[in-house]
Amino acid sequence: MGGVLVIGLNHDPRVMPSTLLGAPLPAFDLPALDEAQPNIKSASMKGGFTLLNVWGSWCVSCREEHPLLMKLSKDKRFKLVGIDWRDTKAHADDYLLTNGNPYAAIGTDQGGRTVIDLGVSGAPETFVVDNTGTVRLRVPGPLTPEIWAKDIEPLLKDQGPAS
Amino acid sequence: MIRIVFAIMLMLFNVEAAHAVLPSEMLTNPVQEARARSISSNLRCLVCQNQTIDDSSADLARDLRLIVRERIVAGDGDGQVMDYVVARYGNYVLLKPPFQMDTALLWLLPFAALILALAVAYATLRGRPVLDDADEPNDILKG
């Protein structure tokens, strides 16, 4: 019994298992932050790896991971797509102008419906979606170089260089 | 004195639970609204963890309350509404986890502990010799 309790101590209750692992990305169709751009659709996330990053200009820890996202935006092996959650366009634009825009495309989710479909409990949260549209990894909280090297890089290597 | 005691009792037992549901969120059908409230008070707020979505004023809790009401209006049964949320967030959102393979330990461990304790108590007590009168400490005091 003591053993069970010790396991409990080492388990972070804030990290919840995702119901999405190994499952297809839930369908969504979100208006782009830049109205001139086409909608961001889950269906379009096939044929290559996608890093789907839920963020908001109000989100403090998003600032923490932002420099890493800027670096990752130069990586050609995947597409970095953002979902701007519960935000205003003015604040989001301002945030990207100040910190740089790492995203290839950004969808907005004002009502939080898509974000709930993804089972997101807080921003930032990142999903690694493979070329078949299957969710391979969920990272709640800010991405770090450690998480990148340990959990994400191996997934990309699996796939080999994307065309 | 009675009055003071009464006042204290009132303070202790008459505290209304703080609910976060806004009037604008409520359904006009009182039966549906009551169902929404009872479902919401069994769903965990994911931002605050120890509150239900019925109690929490977090944005995410509010969004989930709206979804619960939307599903009810769409004709879902209580179980279907719960399943809708569990499909997205896992059993974790249920404040009362269901009994299944991965929660068996959680449910059975307290009973196992109780049985173990009873067994140990029985074995210990049965093995102990019955005290005879002469050994009672009171006799020493009586001198």
Per-residue pLDDT in tens (0 to 9) along chain A, 163 residues: 566 566 666 655 555 567 788 899 999 999 999 999 999 999 988 888 999 999 999 999 999 999 999 999 999 999 999 999 999 999 999 999 999 999 999 999 998 899 999 999 888 999 999 999 999 999 999 999 999 999 999 998 866 554 4
**Looking at chain A, which residue has its C-alpha nearest residue B45?**
A121
Mean pLDDT, residues B65-89: 94
| Closest in B60, B88, B112 to A19, CB measured | B88
Contacts of A79 (CB under 8 A, 6+ apart): A45, A48, A49, A50, A51, A104, A105
Given this model, what pLDDT does residue B22 score? 84
Peptide bond into A124 cis (omega under 30): yes
Given this model, what pLDDT does residue A162 score? 46
Question: Any bridge partners for residue A41, and if so which?
Answer: A29
Give domain A18-159's CATH number out of 3.40.30.10, 3.30.300.30, 3.40.470.10, 1.20.140.10. Answer: 3.40.30.10
Given this model, what pLDDT does residue B71 score? 95
How many Cβ pairs within 8 Å bridge chains A and B? 43
Given this model, what pLDDT does residue A82 score? 96
Given this model, what pLDDT does residue A163 score? 42
Given this model, what pLDDT does residue A132 score? 92
Mean pLDDT, residues B81-90: 92
CB of A24 within 8 Å of a chain B CB? The answer is: no
Report d(CA B81, CA B67) in Å as an integer. Answer: 9
What percent of chain B is predicted at pLDDT more than 70? 81
**Looking at chain A, which residue has its C-alpha nearest residue B49?**
A14
Output A142 or B17, whichever has higher pLDDT. Answer: A142
Kindly tell me if the per-residue pLDDT of B12 is higher than 90: no
Residue numbers in B near A18 (CB within 8 A) = 90
Instruction: Give the CB-side neighbour count of residue B60, counting CA atoms within 13 A.
Output: 23
Kindly tell me if the per-residue pLDDT of B99 is higher than 80: no
Q: Across the interface, do A122 and B109 touch by the CB < 8 Å criterion?
A: no
| Closest in A19, A86, A112 to B87, CB measured | A19
Given this model, what pLDDT does residue A8 score? 62
Kindly tell me if the per-residue pLDDT of B62 is higher than 60: yes
Report d(CA A138, CA A21) in Å as an integer. Answer: 7
Report d(CA A149, CA B116) in Å as an integer. Answer: 46
A 102-141 residues inside an 8 A Cβ radius of B: 111-113, 116-119, 121-122
Mean pLDDT, residues B100-127: 88
Kindly tell me if the per-residue pLDDT of B2 is higher than 90: no
Q: Across the interface, do B89 and A16 touch by the CB < 8 Å criterion?
A: yes
Report d(CA A54, CA A82) in Å as an integer. Answer: 6
Q: Across the interface, do B90 and A13 touch by the CB < 8 Å criterion?
A: no
Q: Residue A55 in contact with residue A123, Cβ under 8 Å?
A: yes
Given this model, what pLDDT does residue B10 score? 64
Report d(CA B141, CA A127) in Å as an integer. Answer: 77
**Looking at chain A, which residue has its C-alpha nearest residue B109?**
A1
CATH number, span B2-97: 1.10.8.640
ipTM: 0.79
Q: Residue A119 in contact with residue B90, Cβ under 8 Å?
A: yes
| Closest in B60, B86, B112 to A121, CB measured | B60
Count other C-beta atoms under 10 Å from residue A3's C-beta.
7
Q: What are the residues of chain B with a beta carbon less than 8 Å away from any beta carbon of chain A?
A: 46-47, 49, 59-60, 63-64, 67, 86-90, 92, 105, 109, 112-113
Given this model, what pLDDT does residue A4 score? 57
User: What's the DSSP call for residue A150?
Assistant: I
Q: How close are the terminal C-alpha atoms of chain B, in Å?
A: 49
**Which region among A30-34, A154-158, B7-11, B94-98 has the lowest average model confidence (pLDDT)?**
B7-11
**Which region among A126-140, B12-26, B34-48 has the lowest average model confidence (pLDDT)?**
B12-26
Given this model, what pLDDT does residue B43 score? 92
Q: Residue A61 in contact with residue A141, Cβ under 8 Å?
A: yes
Given this model, what pLDDT does residue B130 score? 65
Q: Where are the domains of chain A?
A: 18-159
**Looking at chain A, which residue has its C-alpha nearest residue B93?**
A16
Q: Across the interface, do A17 and B49 touch by the CB < 8 Å criterion?
A: no
Report d(CA A89, CA A1) in Å as an integer. Answer: 53
Given this model, what pLDDT does residue A44 score? 86
β pairing state of A49-55 and A135-140: unpaired
Kindly tell me if the per-residue pLDDT of B87 is higher than 70: yes
**Which region among A74-88, B8-22, B34-48 has the lowest average model confidence (pLDDT)?**
B8-22
Given this model, what pLDDT does residue A71 score? 96
Residue B49, both tokens: 């963890």
DSSP calls for B18-74: P----GGGS-SSHHHHHHHHHHHTTBB-TTTSSSBTTT---HHHHHHHHHHHHHHHT
At residue B141, what is the residue type? Answer: L
Q: Across the interface, do B105 and A86 touch by the CB < 8 Å criterion?
A: no
Q: Where are the domains of chain B?
A: 2-97, 102-142
